Amino acid sequence: METVQFFNLVPWVVFLPLIGLTVNLLVGRKLGEIFAGSFASLATGLAFVVSILLAVSLSSHPEAVTIPLGDWITIGTLTVRWAFRVDTLSVVMMLVVSGVGTLIHIYSIGYMHNDVRHNGDTGRYARFFIFLNLFIAAMMILVSADNFLMMFVGWEGVGLCSYLLIGFWFEKGKNGTGNAEAAKKAFITNRIGDFGLLIAMFLIFVNFGTFQFDEVFKQAGQVAAVKPGVMLLITLFMLLGVTGKSAQLPLYVWLPDAMAGPTPVSALIHAATMVTAGVYLVARSSIFYALVPTAQTVVMWVGAATALFAATIALGQYDIKKVLAYSTISQLGFMVAAVGMGATVAGMFHLVTHAFFKGLLFLAAGSVIQGVERGMHHANHASHDFDPQDMRQMGGLRKQTPLTFRVYLIGALALSGIAPLAGFFSKDEILVSAWQTQPAIFIVLVLAAFLTAFYMGRQLTMVFFGEPRTEAAEKASESPLVVTLPLMILALLSVLGGVLNLPGVHTLETWLSHTLGEGEPGHFVWVVAGISLVLALIGLGLAWMIYSRKTDKAYVDPLKRALGSLFTGMENKWWVDELYAAIILNPYRAFAQFMADPVDLGVIDRIGGGLAAGTRALAESIRKLQNGYIRSYALLMLLGLAAIMTYLFLR
Amino acid sequence: MTTGLFVFLTLAIIAITAAAGLILSRNTVYSALFLIINFLAVAVLYLIMGAPFIALAQITIYAGAIMVLFLFVIMLLGAEKPKEIEQMKWQRPLAFVLGGAILVEGVYALLTRVSITVTTNPASEILADPKTLGISLYTKYSLPFEIASVILLVAAIGAVVLTRMPKKDKGQ
Amino acid sequence: MIPIAYPLVLAVILFCMGIVGFLLRKNAIVIFMCLELMFNAANLVFITFANHYQVIDGQVFVVFVMTVAAAEVAVGLALMVTIFRTKQSIDIDQMNSLKG
Amino acid sequence: MNIGLNPLLLVTFFPLVGALVVLLLKPKWKTALRWTALVTSLITFGLSIWMLTRFNDIDPEIQFELNLPWITLGNNQIGFHLGIDGISILMVLLTTFLMPLAILSTWKAVEERIKGFMAFFLLLEVGMLGVFLSLDMVLFYVFWEFTLIPMYFLIGLWGGERRVYAAVKFFLYTMAGSVLMLAGILWIGLQYGSFDLTQLSGSGLIPAAAQLWLFGAFGLAFAIKVPMFPLHSWLPDAHTEAPTAGSVILAGILLKMGAYGFLRFNLPLFPNATVTLAPWMAGLAVIGILYGAAVAYLQKDVKRLVAYSSISHLGFVVLGIFALNLQGLQGAILQMVNHGLSTGALFLIVGMLYERRHTRLLENFGGLWKVVPVLGTLALITTLSSVGLPGLNGFVSEFTILLGAFSSTVIGSPWFAGVATLGVILAAVYLLFMFQKLFLGPVTHEENKKLKDVSAREILILTPILIFAFWIGIYPKPFFMLMAPAVEKLTALVQSAALLAH
């Protein structure tokens, strides 16, 4: 082969961010913000370059390549290597992660400059980029691993970064601990998912004898034939991991709280990349799922249910980022449903386009928030009860932040599925495969898509249209170029993202088929496209009609009157957090308390203490014999003498 | 009843009565005096049983020296009539019961093992001679004898050390 | 010539009386005297058997017993004096500092 | 035999030399005392490294064996028998590695009676090394009990408020167990004419019926030391009251003596009983994992929290041991090392906080990451290593243990490992709770606002531990290689012996 092969460069996608973080760790604080930010961006950018080189290499040599780096765990039959797997699937993920990652790094240079000042600790600027680079490294490990265990390293590593970044302003939030609590919640919820993944891995090792993707998938058919129950268990436990990481029912609850992190984090980790890891996992293991129809059904319903459920909640939120968070959950539901239906390519397609437009939306939201914050400082608000993220406090921002408004509009339209933006094509592919195979799923997803358009319309209207509802919104201002430049690039991608897998061309389909096997290319069904497009337009229009009129300051959502208690449910996220607190957290707390106090201190500690006390009581009673009276000792001696003599006589 | 038996019984009664007096008398001085009577009675018994040296030693050392020492201490401490109230309620009855039991058992042991027909020997010249005792002491029992002397020395020194008034520390 | 059992019985009686006295009285000096009484009873047994077996060893032992008794009385009374100095009493029941 | 150059003898007794030197110094020469102890422990560490370089890591047999006649008891010879293999060498290295760090941590913490402290500390090292190197049961017992004495005084003299209670409790619990072990040792010795472990291991001499109660007698001693549920109640008190260095050594090494005892005695001597009782032991281990985690969650005292976390972590060790396969056993041994490192480091960090604030109650802290960023970061890494985050040391061992237990034929059911995996979640719950209470949130106490960040000495203490945490997490191969031959031999021995008996 004449073309140069760059496969050996693959470890650098991990090493480059690691170098970036090490340098920042050592000198980042001393060399200032510009250096820390740009060096971290450079590291990620280089990782993106490496990813492109890998993609170029793959285009001429589409077979999977494994680049071993070293041994990791070797015990008996258990052999796990640090090894990278370059195939079309992993490279797609790498491109998304490092590409969107680089843009968000650049955005963060400007965003964090303001954020550290707003929150009053400039010393944490470098730390932010250290964490971001660590995240990129972990995510790269996740997507480029050649075995389940190494993937798990990245899997937990991104969870850690998520924890660190959600709790970045660990002294802020509700009661001062809100952010720290949110971070902990995210990590622990993810750990519940990881528990499932661990069990799945144990089962894989016991039944396959290896963790390596190639070998496992090679044997999958055989094992499924012999032990269908085991395969079902593996896939279901894996699904638990997926629901944790990709925020699906029932483990989605951490993602809305995760919005406590700085906005670039929400964009990068909690929208574009990390949360899609679950989708990636199912795509990677699509061979498993193809073998177990029951598991497929479960996955698909989990995804569809999440898509609809989260969309309803998004409808009732006022926090600009929370709406996007629930929207993310909902869109992840689409992807999971897609991979559950076997439409892996459609899922991956949506994953990519979603990374573009949802990343865009979050970053733009960040720009809006900082704009409002600036306005807030300008207006000298006593900032305690003022929440710059509350959409009720905004309004009319299209004038103050025109550029942000435009990119936001593009993102929102893409998300709503308006042709010919990226979201239209990817969502359409999912709907088509549902239409063809699972009508029930189709109905649920279409409903979710309608709600998506509606809540995006609501958000657009509340934030950008009408008149400013507060002084801060009135005085809000546009962000600097370093912030808006990534927005524009992402907007461009959101517009053009559909090209990746245009109906009839199927670039992505062909590309991924080298890894996922030849699938049936999704047809373009006019009926479906029509339905979804019309519904999206109706949703947007309806939202516009309902919300554009509201300008008064004491903001009451118009839907509240129309839907009544139903809206209260949406507003309160259907009380799921409270439900979990009641059935899991509080019982565990009570159980731990019961174990700690009555059981450990009261029973187990008393066993030893009781033995000691028994000995003591015995000694105490014997001690009384030693009364100090000589005559009484003499009497006892005599008693002994008499007894011995009596014994001698009676013998 | 032979003369010997009569003498023995008389002495025995005196000894027992004196012992009872020792135990029961409230006044410590009386107790000491009763004990002297007891010693004397027993000394006479020794004499009868052919141990004149021991009998005299008993009178001089025990009845003489030791009991004088007792009386001195009693007088010195002024402890002729201390109050005696029994606090241990089982002590008294048990003392009698056990004392009685030992007595019964001892007497029973004696009477079942020692025939009543075996009598004491008349005093023999050789055994009664202090010289025999002396020879035995200085030959066969010379080592215990020396040890006994050391014990006496230690006791003498010990008594002195113990009773010495604690010296008031100089300069205080 | 009396039956050998008689002085032995006498010795037993005296010994038991010593014991009972020891147990009954609280006056430390009387208790001492009771000890002497018991020694005495033991000595009587020695003498009796010396006479019975016609050997001198019994008498030798009596000498030793007397020696030890004398030493004991000397030390014991000295102790008594010391204790009286500190406690102002020779009630043996007050000497119970070593109780458990 | 060239006794003078036997590495084991040198390593074991070199601290004794240091202790003697410490005894000769005057109590007021504080610096000299500290440096003597530190240098001694460093030289001991150097000696153990020297030993490692000469150690043949593909040989499963006992190496550097030293067998001197010691006591003759009738027909029985009690030998002064030392030796090392792949299992014990890691324990020895862990001991010699943690000692200098622990001593360094006392630099500011121990100001009174330094002489006694250092002497006891070095004596403790002799005892612990002796335990790991003895191959004669009686000698083992002597060292085993010997470690109690210095630790008793370290807790009882230099400990916290309830130190005497804790010291006595520690002593009595351990003693109670080991007395039964002594009975077992004597019975074996008298019955089979040897106290020598190398002769008895896998000999199949002991009949299955006797094995059961002997397993119980030995196992009780070890289970108390580990400690396994429900014999753990000495541990929270001892850990909490001990001085920082004492807690480090207690958690880092003394607890490992129990697990090591299982490996060295119960498995090779009583293979049938081991196989029979393995599910029960595994069950207790699983209960311990979950129980320790649950109880740790609600502790108010940081040290108590870490102490209960030890129960949970050592539950994994026991689970791995009784999985009786390569993954389980090797994971268990590595987990012993890892627990020594991460819990040791946690105790060191708690000690550093205590030196600054003189309190261990969680409610008195909060938001410290802002005040002491470097310490916060070090604490974060330590916490994560304890949580078992992949890439750090804890994960490798916990994962291999669970994998071993999951596939263990001896335990017989994947349920044990499955339930134990829940411990992974719970570990995150209580450790992140701890981290949050200490370092996250706002600074709520005025006193905390001016705390000093770590000194160079403190960084010097923690860095080596964290280096190993990363090393084991990323490239544990050398550690597995070191123990693999010995573990393979042990596994084969247990399995064949158990097969013979069936």
Residue D249 has what pLDDT? Answer: 92
Pick the most confident of A332-341, A563-572, A616-625: A332-341
Question: Is B124 an interface residue toward C (CB < 8 Å)?
Answer: yes
Q: Which residue has the tokens 């961010």?
A: A17
Residue in C3, C30, C59 closest to B119 by CB: C3
Reading chain B (172 residues) residue by residue, the pLDDT tens digits are: 688 888 999 999 999 999 999 998 888 899 999 999 999 999 999 988 888 899 999 999 888 888 888 888 888 887 667 676 777 778 888 889 999 999 998 898 888 888 877 887 777 777 888 888 899 999 999 999 999 999 999 999 999 988 887 666 554 4
CB-closest option in C12, C29, C44 to B107: C12
Q: Is residue B38 part of a domain?
A: yes
Give residue A520's pLDDT. Answer: 63
Query: Which residues constitute the domain of residue C24?
Result: 5-87
Tell me, yes or no, whether B72 and B105 share the same domain: yes
Alpha helices for C1-100 (secondary structure H): 5-24, 28-53, 57-87
* Nearest by CB: B91 against A631, A641, A646: A631
3-state secondary structure of D50: helix
For D162-183, the pLDDT digits (tens) are 888 899 889 988 888 889 999 9
Asked if residues A17 and A136 have their Cβ atoms less than 8 Å apart, the reply is yes
Length in residues, chain C: 100
Q: Reply yes or no: is the peptide bond before residue B93 cis, omega within 30 of 0.
A: no
User: Where in A355-446 does DSSP place strands (E)?
Assistant: none
The pairs formed by A374-381 with CB atoms below 8 angstroms and a separation of 24 or more are A374/A114, A374/A475, A374/A476, A374/A477, A375/A400, A375/A471, A375/A472, A375/A473, A375/A474, A375/A475, A375/A476, A375/A477, A376/A472, A376/A475, A378/A472, A378/A475, A378/A477, A379/A470, A379/A471, A379/A472, A379/A474, A379/A475, A381/A471, A381/A472
Q: Are A146 and A84 in contact (CB under 8 A)?
A: yes
Does B64 share its domain with B135? no
User: What H or E segment, with its residue span, contains residue A534?
Assistant: helix A526-547
Q: Please indicate, yes or no, if residue B155 is contained in any of the structural domains.
A: yes
Q: Which of B1, B11, B60, B70 to mutate to test the interface with C (most CBs of C within 10 A)?
A: B70
Q: Is the dihedral of CA A213, A217, A220, A222 positive or negative?
A: negative
| Chain C residues within 8 A of A630 when measuring between CB atoms | 92, 95-96
Q: How confident is the model over A360-371, as a mean pLDDT?
A: 89
Amino acid at D468: F
Q: Phi and psi of D2, rounded to 5°?
A: -90, 95
Sign for the CA dihedral angle at D489, D491, D496, D501 comes to positive
Q: Is the previous residue joined to D100 through a cis bond, with omega within 30 degrees of 0?
A: no
Cβ–Cβ under 8 Å, residues D139 and D81: yes
Under 8 Å between Cβ of A287 and A220: yes
Is the residue at C57 inside a domain? yes
B76–A contact, CB cutoff 8 A? no
Kindly report the nearest CA distance between residue C51 and chain B, in angstroms: 6
Tell me how close the Cα of A359 comes to any Cα of chain D, in angstroms: 28
Tokens 């913490």 belong to: D109
Nearest by CB to residue C56, choosing from B49, B115, B133, is: B133
Long-range own/partner contacts, residues A583-591 (CB < 8 A, 24 or more apart): A588/D294, A588/D429, A589/D297, A589/D298, A591/D294
pLDDT digits (tens, 9 = 90+) for A201-229: 999 998 888 899 888 888 888 888 888 88
Measure B41 CA to nearest chain A CA, in Å: 27
> What whole-number distance in Å separates Cα of residue A361 and Cα of residue A353?
12
CB of A70 within 8 Å of any CB in chain D? yes
How does A381-398 read in b/e, with b if 16+ C-beta sit within 10 Å?
beeeebbbbbbbbbbbbb
Token pair, residue D141, equals 């017992």
Please state the domain extents for chain D: 3-501
- Rounded to a whole number of angstroms, the distance from the CA of D264 to the nearest CA of chain A is 20
Query: Where does the pLDDT of residue A550 fall: very low under 50, low under 70, confident under 90, or very high at 90 and above?
Result: low
Q: Which tokens go with A291?
A: 């073998």
Residue A43 CA to residue B171 CA, distance in Å, equals 88
Min distance B171 CA to chain C CA atoms (Å): 23
D249 and D99 Cβ atoms separated by less than 8 Å = yes
Angle B67-77/C28-53 helices, nearest 10 degrees? Answer: 180
Give the integer Cα–Cα distance in Å for B126 and C59: 13
- Total domains in chain C come to 1
Same domain? For B74 and B98 the reply is yes
What share of chain A has pLDDT > 90, as a percent? 19
* Residue B171: per-residue pLDDT: 47
Kindly report the nearest CA distance between residue A618 and chain B, in angstroms. 23
Question: Do the Cβ atoms of C77 and B20 come within 8 Å?
Answer: no
Report the residue from A631, A632, A649 with minimal CB separation from B105: A649
Domain match, B133 and B115 both: no
pLDDT band at A522 (very low <50, low <70, confident <90, very high): low
| Ranges of chain D with pLDDT below 50 | 1
Predicted local distance difference test score (pLDDT) of residue A384: 57
Taking CB atoms and an 8 Å limit, are A632 and B108 in contact across chains?
Answer: no
Distances (CA, A) of A522 to A282, A355, A435: 19, 21, 11
Asked if residue B11 is part of any domain, the answer here is yes
Tell me if ipTM is over 0.85: no
C 49-68 residues with CB < 8 A to B: 50-52, 54-57, 59-60, 62-64, 66-68
A1 pLDDT higher than 50? no
Chains that touch D (3 or more CB pairs under 8 A): A
CB pairs under 8 A between A and D: 157
CATH number of the domain enclosing C67: 1.10.287.3510
**Mind telling me how many Å the CA of C19 is from chain B's nearest CA?**
7
A/B interface, count of CB pairs below 8 Å: 27
Task: Please give the average per-residue pLDDT across A147-163, as a whole number.
Answer: 91
Q: What is the mean pLDDT of residues A327-351?
A: 89
**Per the CB < 8 Å rule, is A149 touching D233?**
no
* Residue-by-residue DSSP string for A423-443: HHHHHHHHHHHHHHH-HHHHH
Shortest distance, CA A138 to any CA of chain D (angstroms) = 10
Measured distance CA(A134)–CA(A331) in Å, rounded: 26
> What mean pLDDT comes out for the span C24-52?
91
Instruction: Domain of residue B62: give its range.
Output: 3-80+92-128
Q: Which two tokens stand for residue D117?
A: 């402290």
Q: Is the minimum CB–CB distance between A618 and chain D shorter than 8 Å? A: no
Across the interface, whether the CB atoms of B101 and A631 are under 8 A apart is answered: no
Judge: D370–A121 Cβ closer than 8 Å, yes or no: yes
Chain A residues whose C-beta sits inside 8 Å of any chain B C-beta: 629, 631-632, 635, 638-639, 641-642, 645-646, 649
In-domain check, residue B87? no
SS3 D390: strand
Confidence of residue A382 (pLDDT cuts 50, 70, 90): low
Selection from D284, D242, D283, D55 nearest residue D156 by Cα: D242
Identity of residue D12: T
Question: How is D62-102 classified by DSSP, letter by letter?
Answer: -EEEEEEEEEEETTEEEEEEEEE-HHHHHHHHHHHHHHHHH
Question: For chain B, how many structural domains are there in total?
Answer: 2
Q: Is residue B85 part of a domain?
A: no
Chain C CB contacts of A640 below 8 Å: none
C98 domain-assigned? no
Region A50-70: what's the mean pLDDT? 87
Residue-wise pLDDT for A554-566, tens only, equals: 566 777 777 777 7
pLDDT in tens, A79-119: 888 999 988 888 889 999 999 999 999 989 888 888 888 88
Asked if chain D contacts chain C via 3 or more Cβ pairs within 8 Å, the reply is: no
Tokens describing residue D47 = 């000696």
Phi, then psi, of D132 in degrees rounded to 5: -75, -20
The overall average pLDDT reported for chain A is 86
- Cα separation, C68 vs C32, in Å, equals 14
Segment A390-432, tens digit of pLDDT: 888 787 788 888 888 889 899 999 888 887 888 888 888 888 8
Question: Would you state the pLDDT for residue D10?
Answer: 87
Tens-digit pLDDT profile for residues D297-321 = 888 899 999 999 999 999 999 999 9
What average pLDDT does the segment C30-49 reach?
Answer: 92
Mark whether B100 and B149 lie in a shared domain: no
Chain A interface, best mutation among D425, D437, D489, by max A CB count within 10 A: D425
**Structural domain includes residue C100:** no
Q: CB A642 to CB B101 under 8 A?
A: yes
Assess whether pLDDT exceeds 50 at residue A30. yes
Contacts of B108 in chain A (CB under 8 A): 649
